[in-house]
Amino acid sequence: MKQSQPASRSDGPKKSNPRVAALYVILRMSVVAVLIAQCLNGNWENVFLCILTLILFMLPSLIERRLRIELPDTLEVILLLFIYAAEILGEIRAYYIDFPFWDTMLHTLNGFLCAAIGFCLIDLLNRDKRITFTLSPLYVAVTAFCFSMTVGVLWEFFECAMDQFFLLDMQKDTVVTAISSVMLDSAGGNVPTVVRDIQDVIVVHSDGTQQALGLGGYLDIGLLDTMKDLFVNFIGAVVFSAVGYVYIKRRGKSKFARRFIPQVR
């Protein structure tokens, strides 16, 4: 007599862990509540963000089905909380503005998670018996790091494009009190001229009127924010690459690493 096949998974995370399933349900219900509120307020941009969040919540299940792997509960929880913190809390609840560290925290997590994805792709290839070569643990860790940094750079390209074409200010500005630029060289050469103790910026409009911004310094447009985002992405990528390296070197023996490394079904 044939045994019946196990039922296919739904669009949510695995239900073997009740805590992960409960978290998934709570987050989804919260997003639906925010979605209804935004519909009533007529804020259609936030409605789109809520729909996007619900779609992104299906990513863990999609990754598992496509790659035929099982995501550890810890990694899956981090993924779900990252999506919720970025879209609902960060964008809609304006945590990016209210808490200056919020964006930094998420970019650090992004570096960690992207390194996890890159590591998983290479490690699965490395363990495939049909492949005739074996990659060293260091090579896999470096590849995961490079994958994470590439994703981080592409995201900064996207932010810059949105700022240039749609003026969204995704690359947040920074107020500085000193600048150095060769464009200020009175001789027209390539010598950087330093301007210190900047107190304010005055904007001259097309009609000749002037407006003092009262910033207390010069407005750096996105450069320092981009460098900070890439640096914390670098930190997250290094941390996970180190975890992955230990995992391969001590295959199956590191309990901490197993919390973040996907397993083949």
Q: Are residues 22 and 77 in the same domain?
A: yes
pTM of the model as a whole = 0.84
Would you mind telling me the total number of residues written for the chain in this entry? 265
Structural domain including 145 reads: 101-166+223-265
- Rounded-to-integer distance, Cα 64 and Cα 116, Å: 14
Of 68-72, 105-109, 131-135, 219-223, minimum mean pLDDT range: 131-135
Q: Give pLDDT, residue 252.
A: 60
Do both 122 and 240 map to the same domain? yes
Q: What angle do CA 40, 42, 43 make, to 5 degrees?
A: 115
Closest to 115 in 3D by CA, of 249, 243, 259, 14: 243
For tokens 């930190």, the residue is: 235
pLDDT by residue (tens digit) across 154-195?
Answer: 999 999 999 999 998 899 899 999 999 999 888 888 999 999
The reply to whether 78 and 21 lie within a common domain is yes
Q: What is the DSSP string of 145-198?
A: HHHHHHHHHHHHHHHHHHHHHH----S--EEES-EEEGGG-TTSSS--EEE-S-
Backbone phi, psi, residue 166, to 5°? -120, 0
- Per-residue b or e along 200-229, where b marks 16 or more CB atoms closer than 10 Å to that residue's CB: eeeeeeeeeeeeeeeeebbeeebeebbeeb
Based on the fold, state whether residues 189 and 85 are members of the same structural domain.
no
Residue 209 forms part of a structural domain: yes
Q: Is the pLDDT of residue 49 over 50?
A: yes
Residues 20 and 80 reside in one and the same domain: yes
Same domain as 118, residue 159: yes
Is residue 135 domain-shared with residue 184, that is, in the same domain? no
Q: What gap in Å lies between CA 156 and CA 226, rounded to an integer? A: 7
- What is the pLDDT at residue 17? 81
In a domain, 183, yes or no: yes
Evaluate if residue 8 carries a pLDDT over 50: no
Residues 247 and 124 in one domain: yes
Per the listing, tokens 């390194």 go with 115
Determine the pLDDT at residue 60. 87
- Are 15 and 94 part of one and the same domain? yes
Residue 6 contacts residue 60 (beta carbons within 8 Å)? no
The region of weakest confidence among 84-88, 232-236, 242-246, 261-265 is: 261-265
Q: Which among 120, 107, 108 has a CA at the least distance from the CA of 147?
A: 120
The sign of the CA dihedral 82, 85, 88, 94 is: negative
Phi, psi of 176 (to 5 degrees): -120, 155
